[in-house]
Amino acid sequence: MAAAAPPTPTAQSTAAASATSPTTTSVNGQSVSSAAPDAPWWNGWEQRTLPDEENVSALREIWGRTGGRLRKWKREQGWKPPPPLKNPADVARDETERQKLRRLYGAELQYKPAFGVLWREGFVSKVELPKNGLEGPVPPQLEGLGRCRVVCLFGNRLAGPLDGARLPASLVHLDLSHNKIDGPVPSELGRLRKLRTLRLQFNKLKGPLPDCFDGMEELRDVSMQRNRLDGPLPPSLGHCRELRTVALHENTNLSGPVPAALARCSKLAMVLLAETNVVVDSAPRDLLDRGCDVQISPPKD
């Protein structure tokens, strides 16, 4: 007798789903990834993991306070909160509609946005919504995403000051470039000790750069060109031992010499200070001898 054919992926998914509790059953006996191929944020584990309540609350607020409720977002798959569950009689008459909602929101119609969000074990790990029509202040509700590693919101219409105290300390990558953020660069950025990439270029930030980089030893790339920054470069940048790139060009009121402490950044490869009032030929000799590309020039007339 011929050997039995191996179970299909759908059968395997069904078997795995049957071992879960009633609150984590799959849709129609299949995994959500099979039932909803347009929802790639789901995988076999996330399908069985209900989202963290604090993360859910934060995402709802972010959507509502950055124009989502006013239909300003270009894409919002799964961000609009799901409707309330219908009573059993209604469900029996309208099962087709319920299945559509399940494909978008999950088996229990939990709030778990698809577009621009990466989930890890029920917690948000990444929020990536570039050029998506977000407006208003940088959402302080980001602080509710306590395990988030990446926030990428470049190319929106975010405005107002940046509150560094309301950003999750877990961040590794922060990109708020190409917005309309104004006010000073907050010294509270120094609490982001895991941060590797800081991109705030093409905004309206003004005032001096805070000397707050002492504990940011993982920082690799700093981009704040095309703002309205002034004053000297902070010596605490020299504590960023992983630093590779510093881009501060086209901030015409930056002044003073290149800090000697930058010579301690052994991996620093590029310092861009064109169109500033930083002292020409002030780069530390040790930095230049290592081949670091230091570009300094005065503002254009």
Q: What domains are defined for the chain? A: 39-152+160-172 (no CATH), 184-301 (3.80.10.10)
Q: What is the pLDDT of residues 248-286, one digit of tens each?
A: 999 999 999 999 999 999 999 999 999 999 999 999 999
Please tell me whether residue 77 adopts helix, strand or coil conformation: coil
* Structure-token match 């005032």, residue found: 207
Q: What is the pLDDT at residue 273? A: 98
Q: What is the pLDDT at residue 102? A: 64
Q: What is the pLDDT at residue 95? A: 67
Which of 8-12, 37-41, 51-55 shows the highest mean pLDDT? 51-55
> What is the average pLDDT across 96-122?
74
Please say if the pLDDT value at position 13 is more than 60: no
Please say if the pLDDT value at position 57 is more than 60: yes
Q: How many CA atoms lie within 13 A of 58 on its CB side?
A: 23
Other residues' Cβ atoms within 10 Å of the Cβ of residue 87: 8
Q: How many CA atoms lie within 13 A of 50 on its CB side?
A: 12
Tallying the residues shown for the chain, one arrives at 301
Q: What is the pLDDT at residue 258? A: 98
197-199 and 221-223: which strand pairing?
A: parallel
Please say if the pLDDT value at position 134 is more than 50: yes
Q: What is the pLDDT at residue 10? A: 38
Q: What is the pLDDT at residue 46? A: 60
* Structure-token match 């805070």, residue found: 210
Question: Rounded to the nearest 5 degrees, what angle is found at the Cα of 193, between the Cα atoms of 122 and 248?
Answer: 115
> What is the average pLDDT across 240-254?
98
> What is the average pLDDT across 75-87?
75
> What is the average pLDDT across 54-77?
93
**Residue 18 corresponds to which tokens in the numbers above?**
């049957």
Please say if the pLDDT value at position 122 is more than 80: yes
Q: What is the pLDDT at residue 16? A: 35
Which contiguous run of DSSP H or E holds residue 287?
helix 285-289
Question: Would you call 29 exposed, middle or buried from its count of C-beta atoms within 10 A (0-12, 13-18, 19+)?
Answer: middle
The answer to which of 87-101, 176-190, 241-255 has the lowest mean pLDDT is 87-101
